[in-house]
Amino acid sequence: MTEILHIVGGGMAGSEAAWQAAHMGVQVVIHEMRPNVGTFAHQTGNLGEMVCSNSFRSDDDEQNAVGLLHWEMRAAGGLIMSSADQHRLPAGGALAVDREPFAETVTARLRAHPNVTISSEEITGLPETGQWIFATGPLTSPALGEAIRAETGAEALAFFDAIAPIVYAESIDMEKAWMQSRYDKGETEEERTAYLNCPMDRDQYEAFIDALLAADKAEFHEGETASYFDGCLPIEVMAERGRETLRYGPMKPVGLTNPHQPDAKAHAVVQLRRDNALGTLFNIVGFQTKMKYGAQTEVFRMIPGLENASFARLGGIHRNTFINSPTLLDDRMRLRARPNIRFAGQITGVEGYVESAAMGLLAGRLAASDILGHALPTAPQDSAMGALIHHITGGAEAKTFQPMNVNFGLFRPVEGLKGGRRGRKDRYKAYTDRAKSAWQGWLEQCALDAA
Ligand SMILES: Cc1cc2nc3c(=O)[nH]c(=O)nc-3n(C[C@H](O)[C@H](O)[C@H](O)COP(=O)(O)OP(=O)(O)OC[C@H]3O[C@@H](n4cnc5c(N)ncnc54)[C@H](O)[C@@H]3O)c2cc1C
């Protein structure tokens, strides 16, 4: 008999991981603490419960990276996608679902699977032996959180995310912005030009502060604590502490010379830092925020150079348990120091129902392949699944790692295509065509392995 695969957490990731591994012929035990132990957001004891919105976002698999993940999961016989399709609600181009029957279907299908056992218990430590996937999500129980922290180190586990907005590099106006590190610090040319700078004069700064103070802010969910660490205060809270606070904080203008206007001293400077190895994404340094999404795009487009910015993701601060995957996980999602332990879902630093289910799908297949003695490689980098896993286990900057949605900025460029807004439609189609063919190739390899 083959080894049992233990999966901790029966949310989006754990349910999908169990389904995939069980289909590959591996015996699976899902350890889910609900309904015995609850979280502040879950309401039921069902597996695959959606804790907030009932949307899986865009279902467009040609022009949208989330829609492409839907496509890849459908092609892999995913439980979350097929249950979502069964309980689909009309929502234009989005995939919205009737949440209760959806979760009941996920639960019933897993209960009915001959290779799956469900055990209602909280797991509070990382076992030394056996094959385990931890998919305990943003609301991982405190006891387990402590155990993960003890194993990985305090720096490697976060209990809040503090996400600054991320901008597509190609949408930044380089006639206004320039590349330079403060005081030209750094040993190499790359280090000396590591930051992208957007200058403001006094009037622009004052208008920006007014807009920040007036913007609509989102509330914390009930049960989420509203105490921020001082190191990750939202910019609007900094602005409330005094109109000059940002000018002495993340927007200080010192050590920088604007090559477009060398004689004019900027009153304030917004800095952006590279967010991935590909150099396609930049985050706005120190700009974590609780502004509502609509307000964020309006306010951030007031920054000179970002008037036409496209955002790969907007900012936020939430209760969220996640590990520093770039330093802790290998590309097969195993803890480098303890390869019998895998992580999957939101705890790995992806964000959202779809991304979490996708990482569950991959972890379930990779764990089952290890148990069965097959050497299945991880997902190809050109697929949406591969772009995401590559980002969280290697492509992302480890020092500033924050949770990430799937987006086209994570994909390697397709050579020979026009950049900018004009070429976007063709570019996205090329990404999705290339991804589908890479993903199909990987699925064929999975099928050959199983034969
Ligand atoms: C308040 C809130 C609102 C959100 N809103 C949205 C939204 O609108 N849209 C969106 O896409 N994403 C949203 N998210 C993120 C969302 O939670 C994730 O995208 C998704 O649910 C993550 O899937 P997962 O499987 O990683 O975790 P989950 O779906 O949370 O599943 C983790 C499971 O592990 C269980 N568990 C935890 N600790 C233990 C333990 N020690 N032992 C056993 N079981 C354990 C939990 O009970 C849970 O069932 C929200 C998150 C929060 C906290």
pLDDT in tens, 202-220: 999 999 999 999 999 988 7
Which residue, 314, 342, 358, sits at the end of a domain?
A: 314
User: Rounded to an integer, what distance in angstroms lies between the CA atom of residue 12 and that of residue 120?
Assistant: 17
Distance CA 348, CA 340 (A): 16
- 84 and 191 assigned to the same domain: no
pLDDT at 230: 62
pLDDT band at 420 (very low <50, low <70, confident <90, very high): confident
Residues 6 or more apart from 433 whose CB is under 8 A from it? none
pLDDT score for 423: 86
Full domain range(s) for residue 18: 5-162+322-450
User: Is residue 158 domain-shared with residue 174, that is, in the same domain?
Assistant: no
How many A from CA of 40 to the centre of ligand 1? Answer: 11
Nearest-atom index, ligand 1, CA of 124: 41
Give the pLDDT of residue 227.
Answer: 61
Tokens 């890479």, residue located: 438
Give the model's pLDDT for residue 448. 86
| Ranges 12-16, 219-223, 324-328, 332-336: which has the least confidence | 219-223
With 80 as the cut, is the pLDDT of residue 353 above it? yes
| Cβ neighbours around 36 below 10 Å, total | 10
Residue 332: its pLDDT value, please? 95
Residue from 42, 137, 143, 146 nearest 343 by CA: 137
34 contacts: CB under 8 Å, gap ≥ 6: 10, 42, 44, 45, 49, 120
Query: Is residue 15 lining ligand 1, measured as CB closer than 6 Å?
Result: no
| pLDDT band with cut points at 50, 70 and 90 for residue 285 | very high
Ligand 1 atom, smallest distance to 57 CA: 11
Higher pLDDT, 276 or 205: 205
Average pLDDT score over the chain: 94
The arithmetic mean of pLDDT across residues 223-249, rounded, is 83
Q: List alpha helices for 170-318, DSSP H.
A: 189-192, 202-214, 235-240, 293-300
* 226 has pLDDT over 60: no
Q: Which two tokens stand for residue 299?
A: 């306010």
Per-residue pLDDT averaged across 431-449, rounded? Answer: 95
Tokens at 338, concatenated: 């303890």
Residues 6 or more apart in contact with residue 299 via CB below 8 angstroms: 208, 211, 212, 215, 291
pLDDT band at 418 (very low <50, low <70, confident <90, very high): confident
CATH code at position 196: 2.40.30.260
The confidence score (pLDDT) of residue 165 equals 95
Q: What is the pLDDT of residue 247?
A: 97
% of the chain at pLDDT higher than 90: 82
Among candidate residues 265, 295, 314, the one where a domain is terminated: 314
Asked whether the beta carbons of 283 and 273 are under 8 A apart, the reply is yes
Which whole number is the average pLDDT over 390-400? Answer: 91
368 alpha carbon, distance to own chain's centre: 24
pLDDT the model gives residue 70: 98
Could you tell me the pLDDT band of residue 225, with boundaries at 50, 70 and 90? low
Please tell me whether residue 115 adopts helix, strand or coil conformation.
coil
Query: Which atom number of ligand 1 is nearest to the Cα of residue 56?
Result: 11
Residue 231 has pLDDT above 80, yes or no: no
pLDDT in tens, 105-135: 999 999 999 999 999 999 999 999 999 999 9
Given a cut of 60, is residue 185 above it in pLDDT?
A: yes
On whether both 131 and 187 belong to a single domain, the answer is: no
Are residues 206 and 77 located together in one domain of the fold? Answer: no
Determine the distance separating the centroid of ligand 1 and the alpha carbon of 355, expressed in angstroms.
Answer: 12
CATH number at residue 376: 3.50.50.60
Q: What is the pLDDT of residue 233?
A: 85
Please work out whether the CB of residue 52 comes within 6 Å of at least one atom of ligand 1: yes
For ligand 1, the distance from its centroid to the CA atom of residue 51, given in whole angstroms, is 7
Atom of ligand 1 minimally distant from the CA of 38: 47
- Out of 38-42, 378-382, 428-432, least confident range: 38-42
Q: Are residues 67 and 216 part of one domain? A: no
Q: Which two tokens stand for residue 212?
A: 């920040």
Residues 205 and 328 in one domain: no
pLDDT digits (tens, 9 = 90+) for 289-331: 999 999 999 999 999 999 999 999 999 888 899 999 999 999 9
CA angle in degrees (0–180, nearest 5) for 251-257-262: 130
Which 3 state secondary structure label does DSSP give 266? Answer: coil
Same domain, 66 and 119: yes
Binding positions for FAD are 9-14
Give the distance (Å) from ligand 1 centre to CA of residue 287: 25
Beta bridge partners of 196: 179, 272
Same-domain status, 269 and 208: yes
Do residues 104 and 211 share a domain?
no
Ligand 1 centroid from CA 39, angstroms: 9
Of the candidates 240, 236, 322, the residue with the CA atom closest to the CA atom of residue 286: 236
How far from the centroid of its chain's Cα atoms is residue 363's Cα?
A: 16
Indicate if ligand 1 lies below 6 Å from the C-beta of 39.
yes
Last residue of a domain, one of 267, 291, 314: 314
- What is the distance between the alpha carbons of residues 123 and 36, in angstroms, rounded to a whole number? 12
- Report whether pLDDT(232) > 80: no
Q: Are residues 273 and 406 in the same domain?
A: no
- Rounded to an integer, the average pLDDT of 342-359 is 97
Output the pLDDT for position 160. Answer: 86
Which residues is 161 bridged to in the sheet?
Answer: 318
The number of domains in the chain is 2
Mean pLDDT of 394-402: 89
- Asked whether 353 lines ligand 1 (CB < 6 A), one says yes
Which secondary-structure segment (H or E) carries 260? none
Examine the pLDDT at 228 and tell me if it is beyond 70. no
Residues 244 and 358 in one domain: no
Please give the Cα distance from 291 to 149 (Å, whole number). Answer: 30
Query: Is residue 393 packed enough to be buried (19+ CB in 10 Å), middle (13-18) or exposed (0-12)?
Result: buried
pLDDT, tens only, 73-97: 999 999 999 999 999 998 888 999 9
276 bridge partner residues: 396
Run of H or E including 273: strand 268-274
Do residues 66 and 84 share a domain?
yes
Pick from 316, 265, 371, 440: nearest CA to 20: 371
Q: Answer with the residue of higher pLDDT: 198 or 413.
A: 198
SS3 366: helix
User: What is the C-alpha to C-alpha distance for residues 451 and 449, in angstroms, rounded to an integer?
Assistant: 6
